[in-house]
Amino acid sequence: MLPSAVWLLSLLVASQDWPQHLGPTRDGVYAGGLVSKAAPHLVWKMDVGQGFSAPVVKGGRLILFHRVDNRERVDAIDAKTGELLWSSDYATAYRDDFGFDEGPRATPTIAGGRVFTFGAQGILQALDFETGKKIWSVDTRARFGVRKGWFGAASSSLVVEDKLLHNVGGRDGAGIVAFDTATGKVLWQATDDEVSYSSPTRTGSDSVFFTKSGLVVLDIDSGAVRYEKRWRSRSNASVNGATPLVIGDIDIDVDVVFISASYGTGASVLKMSAEGLEELWSSDDALSNHYATAVHRDGVLYGFHGRQEYGQAFRAIDLTSGKVHWSVDRFMAGTVTLSGDRLVILRESGELVIAEASPEAFRVLGRAELLPAVVRAYPALADGHLYVRNERTLACFKLEKN
């Protein structure tokens, strides 16, 4: 049962898909805009298998990637009713060395009538979106000689037109690989960067990766490296987990990119121009993301600071200087999505928190317990519905006007 909480939520736009990691623009922004009073209403829920892979939604169809027994499975589900439309699976032998969840980590990508998934042990595949029929599959660990990571393969693929780009982390110049979306054929490969848990994004004709070594910006068509900056912890056990944020709507005449990591690494904002990369600031005391990507609005970054297991703070900082506007200590871990001028925060405890996206103060507008802990996967926001999963359950909530 949901508590009777007062919410400031309503839908401005009738429909909005969420077809990939961090949404349509790959920056955690939902264009619907939630602004007036409403309560989250449970529409449906179902039992699911293991995994931290987030749900994605396109055209009223939800795709879930999870592990059931010893098989990694992709389910297509009617997003409004929870009805199973098709299912496709394959055998997996992945075992987590640290006793964590053994399901897939990477979020599927829906593009060009296909569903692309990347399993915990490195199986990259393409399925037909309508039928679930397998189109192609590549065992990246075997093909490119990838070493097993600390917590399994977790980077979500970036699809741009006919190319799928992935931080494979392979040997002999196969750190980043571009595949043909129709056939799985390798189109180009570049760098010797080992794999991280961060997912790539793009800016114009370039792709932006945050590998285990640091920031790499490459031309999408050729794989030519435009910029590189080493940004990683001295500890070999460290991971870069948050996706880079490319921001171009501030008072700077070129794009800037925000990168952030934990394990004593810290955050940096870098200005990208024809002359190269210029660091605007860097600090481990501003907004060091462990795994959850921050969001940006009007020159302010909002996100989680510090290690997940140490009880993270939730903060607002200035994009161009790194100055901390406010900080809520011991907020604990979770994810954050931006919807209009609202922060949609889903804590690992299963609590949904709606707050103002304001540099003035952290103002909570509503709270509700949606699912039991542990909720680590990102939610999906689509057509006024919020899709949330934990280690056992997937649930759909409707955000209704009062």
Span 109-126, pLDDT tens digits: 999 999 999 999 999 999
Sketch out the chain's domains with CATH numbers: 29-401 (2.130.10.10)
Q: Percent of the chain having pLDDT more than 90?
A: 81
Q: Is this prediction's pTM over 0.75?
A: yes
pLDDT digits (tens, 9 = 90+) for 212-243: 999 999 999 999 999 999 998 777 766 799 99
**pLDDT score for 62:** 98
Enumerate the β-bridge partners of residue 398: 41, 385
Residue 291 · residue 332 · CB < 8 Å: no
Q: Specify the residue for token string 């075997």.
A: 142
**Cβ-based burial of 96 (10 A; exposed 0-12, middle 13-18, buried ≥19):** middle
How far is it, in rounded angstroms, from Cα 114 to Cα 43?
27
Peptide bond into 375 cis (omega under 30): no
> How many angstroms from the chain centroid is the CA of residue 35?
24
Residue 268 · residue 240 · CB < 8 Å: no
Sign of torsion over alpha carbons 36, 42, 46, 47: positive
Mean pLDDT of 148-156: 85
Distances (CA, A) of 335 to 92, 293, 304: 28, 7, 8
Distances (CA, A) of 88 to 91, 158, 192: 11, 22, 33
pLDDT digits (tens, 9 = 90+) for 246-286: 998 555 556 899 999 998 899 999 999 888 899 999 999 99
**Cβ-based burial of 308 (10 A; exposed 0-12, middle 13-18, buried ≥19):** middle
pLDDT digits (tens, 9 = 90+) for 284-328: 999 999 999 999 999 999 999 998 888 899 999 999 999 999 999
**DSSP for residue 174:** -
